[in-house]
Amino acid sequence: EDQVTQSPEALRLQEGESSSLNCSYTVSGLRGLFWYRQDPGKGPEFLFTLYSAGEEKEKERLKATLTKKESFLHITAPKPEDSATYLCAVQASMDTGRRALTFGSGTRLQVQP
Amino acid sequence: EPEVTQTPSHQVTQMGQEVILRCVPISNHLYFYWYRQILGQKVEFLVSFYNNEISEKSEIFDDQFSVERPDGSNFTLKIRSTKLEDSAMYFCASSVGTNTGELFFGEGSRLTVL
C-alpha cells in the first residue's frame, strides 16, 4: 500500500524566515511525486511534479527536490501570502495499473508579518 | 483561466437520502475524478472516469456510489443512501491525461449528513 507521511504537521514562520517541509513516501515504483497547495475551504492547487531522484523544480519562493525516499519543499524568504496547507502526493508506476494519487496529511504553514 | 466548477457548495441531507453532486470539468480535459476529504483528514481518491466509463476506483467507492457524465459538460457523483460517515468535502478534478498527477480541482462540495 502506498503511503505518504508529511512533517511537520504545522509550521509557523516569520516573514523572511526560510524553512523546509518534508514528505517521505513508500510506493510500488514511483511514477511521480506532486506538490499541491490548499487554501482553507478550497481545492488543492497543483504546484510541481517530480519524476526522478535528483530532480528539482522552482516557482517563485518555492523549490521542490526529490530523493529515492523523500521530497522536500523549500520555502525561501516566505511572505504571508504563502500561508496555506502544502500537500504531497504520489502516483505509482504504470505497471501497477494504478493512476490514483495518494496524498499525505499536509503541512499547515503560517507566515506571520 | 479555465476552472473546474462544482455545485452545490454545501448540501445538508438526512441519513438515507440520495445526493447528487455536480461538476463541470475543464472543457478540453478527458479524465475526470472525484476525491473526498473528511474534516481534518487526508484527501482520498474515490474514482476516475474516462471515455464514459470508470477507469479506476477505490475501496471507498462501493455500490452506494455512482458516477455519470450525462451530457458533454457535466460530471456527477451520486450517493444513493447517505450515511453519517459520508460527511466530507467532495472534490471534483480533471486532467488532460491520466498519467499526469497535474489535476485541476474544483472548490469542493461540502456534504453534511445528519
Question: What CATH code is carried by the domain that includes residue B61?
Answer: 2.60.40.10
Query: Would you say residue A99 has pLDDT above 90?
Result: no
Stretch B8-23: mean pLDDT, rounded? Answer: 98
**What is the tally of structural domains in chain A?**
1
B56 assigned to some structural domain:
yes
Choose the most confident range, by mean pLDDT, from A30-34, B9-13, B68-72.
B9-13
What percent helix, strand, coil does chain B show, rounded to 5? 5, 50, 45
B110 assigned to some structural domain:
no
pLDDT, tens digit (0-9, with 9 covering 90-100), for B27-49: 989 999 999 999 999 999 999 99
**Backbone phi and psi for residue B45, each to the nearest 5 degrees, phi listed first:** -75, 135
B68 assigned to some structural domain:
yes
**What is the tally of structural domains in chain B?**
1
- Percentage of chain A with pLDDT > 90? 87
Question: What CATH code is carried by the domain that includes residue A42?
Answer: 2.60.40.10
User: Looking at chain B from residue 94 to 113, which residues have their Cβ under 8 Å from any Cβ of chain A?
Assistant: 98-108
Burial (0-12, 13-18, 19+ Cβ within 10 Å), B49: buried
Question: Taking CB atoms and an 8 Å limit, are B101 and A104 in contact across chains?
Answer: no
Grid coordinates representing A19 are 524553512
pLDDT, tens digit (0-9, with 9 covering 90-100), for A44-89: 999 999 999 999 999 999 999 999 999 999 999 999 999 999 999 9
What domain range includes position A35?
3-87+97-112
Query: Would you say residue B12 has pLDDT above 80?
Result: yes
Question: Taking CB atoms and an 8 Å limit, are A100 and B58 in contact across chains?
Answer: yes
A92 assigned to some structural domain:
no
A16 assigned to some structural domain:
yes
